[in-house]
Every structure is written in C-alpha cells, then in structure tokens.
Structure 1
Amino acid sequence: MQQYLSTLEKSWYELHRHYQFSEPQRTFNKLIAAYSEKQRAYHTIQHLYECLVLVETIRSELNDSNAVALALWFHDAVYDPQAKDNELKSVELFERYLAQDLQIDRIQKIKRWIAATQKHESTEEVDLQFLLDIDLAILATSPERFEEYEQQIQQEYAWVDPDVYLIKRKEVLAHFYQTESLYQTAYFQQNFEQRAKGNLRGYLGLSL
C-alpha cells in the first residue's frame, strides 16, 4: 500500500509541475480516497499504480505522455460495479476538478480518452491506443497476479449469482481470447499479446 502511494504521489506531482494544478494536494487526496472505496477490489490504487508504472516504461512511444497519465488517473475515478455509467461520471469528475487548470483542447481530449475506456473500441489515435492497451495490460501479467486479478473482479461482482457470474465472466474473457489482436499497438502486440492469450487460455481451460 505504501509503495503504491509513494509512487502515485510522485506521479501526481510530476503532472502538477507540468500543468500547475490550482489545488494539487486536495485533488490528489480526493482521487486516492476514491480509488480506496470499499466496493473496489480490482479498480483500486493497485490498478492505478500498475497503469502509471507502464506509462513510464513507454513514455518515449507517446506523443503526450502527461495527458495519457492524467487520463489514467481519472479513468476509474468513479467506480460502482452495479452501474453502467462509471466512465461518463469519471469524465464529469475530471472536468469538475481540473477544468479551470487546463486548456480547453486538452480538457476535451482527456475527456474523450476517459470515455473511450468504457468500450475499448479500435482507434487510429496512437496515444489513445496506448492508453487502452495499458488498461488491459493486466491480462498479460504473471499467472499469480492474473489469478489475484480474477479473484478481485469476482469480489467486485459478489452481488451477482455465482453461477451467472461464471458464465458471464467466461464470455468476457473468451471474447478477449478470440480477438485476433487483443492489443492495438505494435508494442503491446509484441510484448504482451502472447502472455495475455496464455493467461486467458489457462482460465478458459483451453488447449493449444
């Protein structure tokens, strides 16, 4: 927990140096509180941390790495497992917290990117491709972390009948597995695709 927080604080204040937020500490505290809400098991500061660490490893691939990082900070800022409008509410939260601090074109771009994490549709926009791939990078993690991830997702959906959950979850992961290119960028296809398909194959009980 403390490891995550120190890295997240460093990331946030690097963004503050770039954007000059009017209330950096207050906004940081609110975001950490949001990602620590009790209904979350996967969409937590751990997920945020994992996303932002990845941004650092691919910074040279991005056109606007600060905007990608800021969009990731807000992409799950609102999360209710029983709601269907989390991303749109996260967009509203971003606008409420930072609209006064950023140029209008950057606000519109980041709002569009946050909203895009709802459906993960194909795009030609390189930075958005990377942002969406980062959000799905968990699928290519170590087998141990993948198992933990699956347990965390199941915990968030504890309100669903277990048999129904299992059917629906397998449908979601089978869709990912059957997608010819799970990731949109060449970087993720080369470095993450094979591991992700292996994890999915293992979960679904499929053989090569």
Structure 2
Amino acid sequence: MWNEILHRSWLRLEQNYHFNDSQNVLNVLKQAYAESQRAYHTLQHISECLFHFEQVQDLLGDARAVELALWFHDAVYNPKASDNEECSATLFQDLLKDDLSTALLAKISQWIIATKQHLPSSDQDLNLLLDIDLAILGATSKRFIEYQQQIQCEYHWVDSEIYQHKHKQVLTHFFLQQPLYQTTFFQDHFELQAKQNLTLALAGNLK
C-alpha cells in the first residue's frame, strides 16, 4: 500500500513539474529516508503523510506544492541537530533550483522550515500541511504506540530519564494546544483520537 502511494504521488509531481532529473531526485530522497539513524522519520512517515494528503488535496490551493513539501520536509534528519528543517529546505533548493520558479522555491522552503515549530498560519495550505505532519498523533492507539517506540529509538543515545522528561514535555505541549489541529478536517477526524492518545501516553497507560 505505502509503495503504491509513494509511486502515485511521485508520478503526479513528475507530470506537474517536469523535473529535469526526476529519478536522481527520487533516489536522493529514498536514500535519505533509509538512513540508519531513522526509525520514525522514514518513507513510512512520508507515505502516511501522502495518504492524508490525498484525503484533503481538494481543499488545497496549491496541492502539488504541498505534496512536494511533504516529500522534502524531513529529507535531512539528524536527531542530534537543531537545524534539520533548514537543511531539508536547502537540499530541496539545491536539487530543484533548475526546475521551479524562484517564488515557488521560496514558498515551499518556507513551508518546510515551518514544520519545525508548527505555528498557526494565515496560509490555509500551510495549516493543512502542518496538520498532515501531526496526523500521527491522531492515529490508532496501536500505531501511536509504534510511533512512540520509533521516536525513542531515534534518541537511544539520550539517558532514559532525561528522554522521558523531555518527551513528556513535548506531549504536554501538544496536549495543551486548543485545538491541536488548525483545520476543520483534522479537528473533525483526528482531534479526539489525538487527545485520547496523548492523555494515555502522559498517564503512562499506553502499552
């Protein structure tokens, strides 16, 4: 299923943007998302994002740009770094600078960087992109547990007590967001499940 979604998405992007070296760009992305330090930030995450993208693409003003941003938003990922989003945006620009307009490069780069803080925006396309990125919080309890395990795996080098403290801070931040999601679609379809997942996780009752 996930491979089909990836293939379908990349074909749409190829047909829309007519990349000069589409296969090379795709290969770079596949290699990046297969890096050994990743457990959650892999093609599984991108596939899940694209699955949700397909559910809301009719609500988007520039669907292909959002789709392309999703492919690149975690292209650079080092759990020990604090500039992954900026580096992902730079990689995006380096790979596609000859294929896209300056304005489009700038817009998508800004969107990629915006996934760092997930702040509400006046740009509805960006709000949907950010909600897609956080859809994992409203996944089934089984998938949410797997997500938590994957994130912990990426931070295996952090002392367990420190990790649990920091992770609880992150979960609490999301739990206190009212609403968590910025768009009506995700509020209607993901908000309740996300708050249930976060409540159980914070109480230590997700096993």
Q: TM-score range by the shorter chain?
A: over 0.9
Give the total of aligned pairs: 205
User: Which deviates further from its counterpart, 175-184 or 127-136?
Assistant: 175-184
Structure-2 residue corresponding to 1:8: 6
Give the match for residue 99 of structure 1.
Answer: 97
Identity, % of aligned positions: 49
Matched to 2:141, the amino acid is P
Note the residue ranges of structure 1 that are not aligned, 5 or more in a row.
none
Matched residue, 1:170: 168
Q: Is residue 128 from structure 1 mapped to residue 126 from structure 2 by the alignment? A: yes
Give the distance between the partners of 1:65 and 1:50, measured in 2 at CA.
Answer: 16
Q: Deviations over 1:72-126 (max 9, x none)?
A: 0000000000000000000000000001101111111101100100111111100
Q: Which residues in structure 2 correspond to 1:149-188 (within 5 Å)?
A: 149-188=147-186
Q: Distance in 2 between matches of 1:89 and 1:162?
A: 28
Question: Paired residue for 1:189?
Answer: 187
- The TM-score, its normalising length taken from structure 2, stands at 0.96
Residue-by-residue CA offset, 1:128-181 (whole Å, 9 max, x unaligned): 000000000000000000000000000000010001100110111011111111
d(CA) in 1 for partners of 2:49 and 2:43? 10
- Partner amino acid, structure 2, of 1:10: R
What RMSD over aligned residues (CA atoms) do the two structures have, in Å? 1.2
CA distance in 2 between counterparts of 1:6 and 1:206 reads 36
Q: Counterpart amino acid of 1:149? A: Y
Counterpart of 1:87?
A: 85
C-alpha distance in structure 1 between counterparts of 2:96 and 2:157, whole Å: 34
TM-superposed CA distance for 1:6, in Å, is 3.5
1:47 is aligned to 45
- Tell me the SS of whatever aligns to 1:81: coil
Runs of 5+ in structure 2 lacking a partner? Answer: none
Distance apart, 1:206 and its partner CA: 8.2
Deviation at 1:14, TM superposition (A): 1.1
Secondary structure at the residue paired with 1:22? coil
Partner in structure 2 of residue 24 of structure 1: 22
Contact (CA 8 Å) 1:13, 1:24: kept in 2 or not? no
Which residue of structure 2 aligns with residue 115 of structure 1?
A: 113
Q: Quick one: distance in 2 between partners of 1:25 and 1:6?
A: 17
Quote the residue 1:148 is aligned against.
Answer: 146
- The equivalent residue for 2:199 is 201
Query: What is the deviation of 1:7?
Result: 2.4
1:10, distance to aligned residue in structure 2 (A): 2.1
